[in-house]
Amino acid sequence: MAVEMLGYIEKPSPVHRLTGTTKLIGFLLWTTATMFTYDTRVLLILGFASIGLFLVSRIRFREVRFVLVFTALFVLINALAVYLFEPEQGVAIYGTRHVLFEGIGRFTLTAEQLFYLFNLILKYSVIVPVAVLFLVTTHPTEFASSLNRIGVPYKVAFAVSLALRYIPDVQQDFRTIADAQEARGVAVTHGPLLKRAKHSLNILLPLLFTSLERIETVSNAMDLRGFGAERKRTWYNQRPMTRADYLAIGLVFMLTIFSFVVTFYDGSRFYNPFS
């Protein structure tokens, strides 16, 4: 149960040194590029780039393993669901039909469908690591100031960053409470699933009360120090943009343009190896 998920992880890396604004813009561009394309070549390039970014950031796989494994599972379930609903979606898209296995009823297996699902999974594999990377390399308050800089009202931005900031604390609370439950012989982290689900309810109430207590104190502390008095605010942690920032934004921007050009030049978002 000892997982720290999505908290800021401090490391001396070029990715950490970029300002929050750069990372936010980069992340948004990256996501847009991947959202639009189903072009396998583009996805592969972006995928390799995201692995490269991970290496540069010095974040180790095991530090974010839980989230990555969890989302991977989710993506697989998603792919399975897509297959169950539309087993011949790939055929419709690519216009050819190479049957590998006739299967039962409508559930056939075609090369097109497999390729389509592969692309779908690839898409997530490109977005998710970058999203995780963005969260763990951006200091929560810098994240808030970046949101604010690109036009999000500061109260909203601050709320988001506070939520991020408290993730580790709430996790800590959760663990303590879960332990206190286990100490009474109430299994929460092992045992039959149904029982665990029932017992989780016993964690929610104490977690709710500790969180409410926390919220009350913090909101009092914020009020007492004048939060929200003005329409705008300044940010202690906001750093000036450096050449590296402009360079990074430029690179991601070009990558995005490139992916759009490759994706759309032949009028289809799909790369078709079957024709």
Interface positions with other proteins (CB under 8 A): 2, 8, 10, 139-141, 162, 165, 173, 176-177, 179-187, 202-203, 205-206, 209-210, 213-214, 217-230, 232-238
Q: If you search the block for the tokens 């790369």, which residue do you land on? A: 271
Q: Between 49 and 162, whose beta carbon lies closer to other proteins?
A: 162
- Least distance (Å) from other proteins to the CB of residue 202? 4
190: left (phi over 0), alpha (psi -120 to 50) or beta: beta
Contact 34, 127 (CB under 8 A): yes
- Least distance (Å) from other proteins to the CB of residue 259? 35
Contact 22, 85 (CB under 8 A): no
Q: Between 89 and 237, whose beta carbon lies closer to other proteins?
A: 237
Contact 158, 133 (CB under 8 A): no
Q: Between 32 and 176, whose beta carbon lies closer to other proteins?
A: 176
Q: Between 234 and 275, whose beta carbon lies closer to other proteins?
A: 234
- Least distance (Å) from other proteins to the CB of residue 230? 6
Q: Between 123 and 139, whose beta carbon lies closer to other proteins?
A: 139
- Least distance (Å) from other proteins to the CB of residue 81? 35
Q: Between 109 and 180, whose beta carbon lies closer to other proteins?
A: 180
- Least distance (Å) from other proteins to the CB of residue 60? 12
- Least distance (Å) from other proteins to the CB of residue 176? 5
* CA–CA distance, 226 with 241 (Å, rounded to integer): 28
93 CB-side CA count, 13 A: 23
Please list, in sequence order, all residues whose beta carbon lies within 8 angstroms of the beta carbon of residue 119, skipping any fewer than 6 positions away. 38, 40, 43, 270
For 101, the enclosing helix (H) or strand (E) is strand 99-104
Ramachandran angles phi, psi of 108, nearest 5°: -90, 165
DSSP-assigned letters across all residues of 130-163: HHHHHHHHS-HHHHHHHHHHTT--HHHHHHHHHH
